[in-house]
Structure 1
């Protein structure tokens, strides 16, 4: 087996047709989005971390979701912004591997986070009398461990498969490195790679069905109880919006895996970044608006800042 040298250069071709004006316009839009994503997620993380009243399972899982969003956007934005400013659309193969690992951990981590949050909401609404017994500190720790261990394990396996064969191509038709695109650059792909990719998609499908089933049971429970309906509107609606938002982003990975070539270049580029940019900025907004304790804390901070500035 031939080893792949870390000095290999990969060429990012997605921006080849962009003129300097288009690059500056996109940079002017992307940089504020990145900074806003950092501020929003970091604010929620700090509020949950420093507010003892929020040290509950639901907010602990939300904190992990925000951390995952920060990791994903930081893995994408800096390199993309560099491409836009320098017009030097190249990346070392080793750097590309690291970025691919971060992005796959982020993508799968969104599903593990949202699936665990669905478990928490199901128990809170369908079995409220047993909630604190079931969601013990050990259970919460186990679920948080699963949130991170499963994506990291899949990411490590994906990277090991990517490094298995040398590269025969060096052009990536998108503005970031992603594991499936790297696999398509390899000189050879074996049966195990396809099997593992199938396992990843089946896992995502299982998470999707699991969340839908959980909410089917939650909706049935809400029909019988006014208290359950109030919990649903206040805590489940943000989760459902986040889940559907993340699920829509899977269209890009499916297109990459099956090498869909019927899409226009603009549409394909848009699909390639939507899952990395939209959920991380939408999630903290909808949770900050809908969850009463977080909204109250945010309003308190804004009032305090306003008074100090007077």
Structure 2
């Protein structure tokens, strides 16, 4: 038994134990996916920053969503790509806590930003006359500051709580570190280890309820007007699709962590673990880039200029 947390200096990640035969292929496929994630997100970010016509609240929130996508994936892909080319899959104690912090805070920031986007569409469609007085530059800046600050603060507290645990193991049956799995290695549970995650889950479940409430009101409002229905289809449909993708991928991973079967093939377990780090960061900018007319036209205009 390990009597002190300082004894554990390295964790072993066993998720890649069964990938020896196709590790090189998996490396190049993963590298390609990561490059595409950077390409599509960076394209949207630069397009929104450069074009002053895209400096409205909805596009600013979208820009931050793409930035968060790059931030979250940076906490996983470089380490994962390195592990694919290595025979030993270990991570330092500090590195494990850092990776858990980045992945968790990115997910929480996604929740906050998606809630802001839902609020923006709710005000724009349900209360269009007061939209510009409500969504001022100052208020948008303040909301964005809060949307980034709270996830970082909550996950900082959670990471500090995890780091104080006395651990009785160093084996993590996954391809990356998360606080929940590190907490399971603790020799004994404490009130803080239960209370902090419970508060975080409850807080972000409140975000989920708010998003559902916003869209319930949006749908009800859109049924009364053809113009509102057109607005909904143009600006809200991409958001609905991205919400569904995010909640499905994250919910699937959380349920598997809690209740998943160890009898599944390791490759299937790895895919489920990667799903929320692959699908939303890749799909979100593509959906918005293709569906939102202003962004699509700006990108096409840029490509036409380059080709000429």
Structure 1 residue 235 and structure 2 residue 238: aligned? Answer: no
- The aligned length equals 304
Superposition RMSD on alpha carbons, in Å? 1.6
What TM-score do the two structures reach when normalised by structure 1?
0.94
Q: Secondary structure at the match of 2:168?
A: coil
Cα drift, residue 7 of structure 1: 7.2
Do the aligned partners of 2:8 and 2:170 also contact (CA within 8 Å) in 1? no
Do the aligned partners of 1:6 and 1:93 also contact (CA within 8 Å) in 2? no
Do the aligned partners of 1:252 and 1:268 also contact (CA within 8 Å) in 2? no
Cα drift, residue 170 of structure 1: 0.7
For residues 259 and 158 of structure 1, what CA distance do their matches in structure 2 show? 22
Do the aligned partners of 1:99 and 1:177 also contact (CA within 8 Å) in 2? yes
Cα drift, residue 3 of structure 1: 6.2
Give the aligned partner of residue 211 of structure 1.
Answer: 211
Give the aligned partner of residue 56 of structure 2.
Answer: 56
Give the aligned partner of residue 225 of structure 2.
Answer: 225
Do the aligned partners of 2:253 and 2:273 also contact (CA within 8 Å) in 1? yes
What do residues 182-208 of structure 1 show as CA deviations (whole Å, max 9, x unaligned)?
Answer: 111222221222122222222222111
For residues 193 and 4 of structure 1, what CA distance do their matches in structure 2 show? 15
Cα drift, residue 261 of structure 1: 3.6
Cα drift, residue 147 of structure 1: 1.3
What TM-score do the two structures reach when normalised by structure 2?
0.94
Give the aligned partner of residue 176 of structure 2.
Answer: 176
Cα drift, residue 73 of structure 1: 0.7
Range moving further from structure 2, 288-297 or 207-216? 207-216
Give the aligned partner of residue 128 of structure 1.
Answer: 128
For residues 214 and 187 of structure 1, what CA distance do their matches in structure 2 show? 43
Give the aligned partner of residue 277 of structure 2.
Answer: 276
Q: Secondary structure at the match of 2:301?
A: helix
Give the aligned partner of residue 98 of structure 2.
Answer: 98
Q: Secondary structure at the match of 1:11?
A: strand
Give the aligned partner of residue 189 of structure 1.
Answer: 189
For residues 87 and 35 of structure 1, what CA distance do their matches in structure 2 show? 24
What do residues 63-86 of structure 1 show as CA deviations (whole Å, max 9, x unaligned)?
Answer: 110110000111110000011011
Structure 1 segments of 4 or more deviating over 4 A?
A: none
Do the aligned partners of 1:9 and 1:170 also contact (CA within 8 Å) in 2? yes
Unaligned runs of at least 5 residues, structure 1? none
Structure 1 residue 286 and structure 2 residue 294: aligned? Answer: no
Q: Secondary structure at the match of 1:86?
A: coil
For residues 6 and 144 of structure 1, what CA distance do their matches in structure 2 show? 40
Unaligned runs of at least 5 residues, structure 2? none
For residues 307 and 106 of structure 2, what CA distance do their matches in structure 1 show? 36
Give the aligned partner of residue 110 of structure 2.
Answer: 110
